[in-house]
């Protein structure tokens, strides 16, 4: 069985500050891990993914995440927040045999203050 | 390539009515997924197709729900005798083949259903 926990349903940062969104997962098989972003009344856009190999993955819009197996974590970071980063962020897990069947966390709303 | 397309974007229906949603995946994608997202929650998996075959259905998919993908291209999701609890965003996603390191799911913009 797989599950995802996102710590903090709301995160507020100032423009230019570090963004850190936390995600912990549980998986009985090697996980594939994803971060998606959702703007109001829109679908989900893939930010980045971890499948195998390098544990630090870089995505679009300056985001990156690090897979830490020992901590079962996949936290999302961005060095400097922009106003346009304000959105809902979802962490998700799947596995290699069915990468599109995703188990999502409950989401974190990122607010960026001017 | 116009991405995953869903129609309609919004649907308001009276309780007890039937509704049908359509999803057009990215053209070369073999796998198609349906998810449901309620307010303030992450999407929840409902069902998926490999070409025209429906391979898995979540226990969330009650008998009032049915999904088809008749020619392995577009898919429809029908809800019969809608209930207020069916109000949600219904998301469709597609992927190339759903396995391995180079495939991921691409999502449509969703159909927001409101049952009044």
CB of B34 within 8 Å of a chain A CB? The answer is no
Chain segment A75-98, per-residue pLDDT in tens: 999 999 999 999 999 999 998 778
pLDDT for residue A99: 77
Chain segment B24-43, per-residue pLDDT in tens: 999 989 999 999 999 889 99
- Between A66-70, A97-101, B82-86, the lowest mean confidence (pLDDT) is in A97-101
User: Residue A105 has what DSSP assignment?
Assistant: -
* Interface contact flag, A100 B33, Cβ < 8 Å: yes
Per CB-CB distance under 8 Å, the chain B contacts of A44 are 43, 91, 93, 107
pLDDT for residue A26: 94
* Interface contact flag, A51 B101, Cβ < 8 Å: yes
Who's near B47: CB < 8 A, 6+ residues apart? B33, B34, B54, B56, B57, B58, B61, B67
Who's near A27: CB < 8 A, 6+ residues apart? A2, A3, A72, A93, A95
CA distance A79 to chain B (A): 25
Report the chain A residue with the minimal C-alpha distance to residue B5.
Answer: A43
C-alpha distances in Å from residue A92, one per residue of A12, A113, B87: 21, 26, 23
Spatial distance between the Cα atoms of B34 and B38, rounded to a whole number of angstroms: 14
Q: Is B92 in a helix, a strand, or coil?
A: strand
Confidence check: pLDDT of B44 > 60: yes
Per CB-CB distance under 8 Å, the chain A contacts of B100 are 96, 99
Chain segment A32-53, per-residue pLDDT in tens: 999 999 998 788 999 999 988 8
pLDDT for residue A97: 77
């Amino acid at each position: 069985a797989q599950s995802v926990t996102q710590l903090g349903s709301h995160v507020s940062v100032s423009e230019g500050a570090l963004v850190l969104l936390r995600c912990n997962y549980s998986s009985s098989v090697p996980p594939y891990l994803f971060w998606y972003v959702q703007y109001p009344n829109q679908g989900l856009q893939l930010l980045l993914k971890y499948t195998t190999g390098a544990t630090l993955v870089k995505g679009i819009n300056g985001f990156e995440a690090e897979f830490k197996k020992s901590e079962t974590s996949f936290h999302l970071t961005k060095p400097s927040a922009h106003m346009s980063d304000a959105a809902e962020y979802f962490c998700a897990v799947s596995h290699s045999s069915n990468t599109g069947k995703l188990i999502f966390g409950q989401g974190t709303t990122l607010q960026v203050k001017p | 390539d116009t991405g995953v397309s869903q129609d309609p974007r919004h649907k308001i229906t009276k309780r007890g009515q039937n509704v049908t949603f359509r999803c057009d995946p990215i053209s070369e994608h073999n796998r198609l997924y349906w998810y449901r997202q309620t307010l303030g929650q992450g999407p929840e998996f409902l069902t998926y197709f490999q070409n025209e075959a429906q391979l898995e259905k979540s226990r969330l998919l009650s008998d009032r729900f049915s999904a088809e993908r008749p020619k392995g291209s577009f898919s429809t999701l029908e809800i019969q005798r809608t209930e207020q609890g069916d109000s949600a965003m219904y998301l469709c996603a597609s992927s190339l083949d759903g396995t391995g390191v180079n495939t991921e799911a691409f999502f449509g913009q969703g159909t927001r259903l409101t049952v009044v």
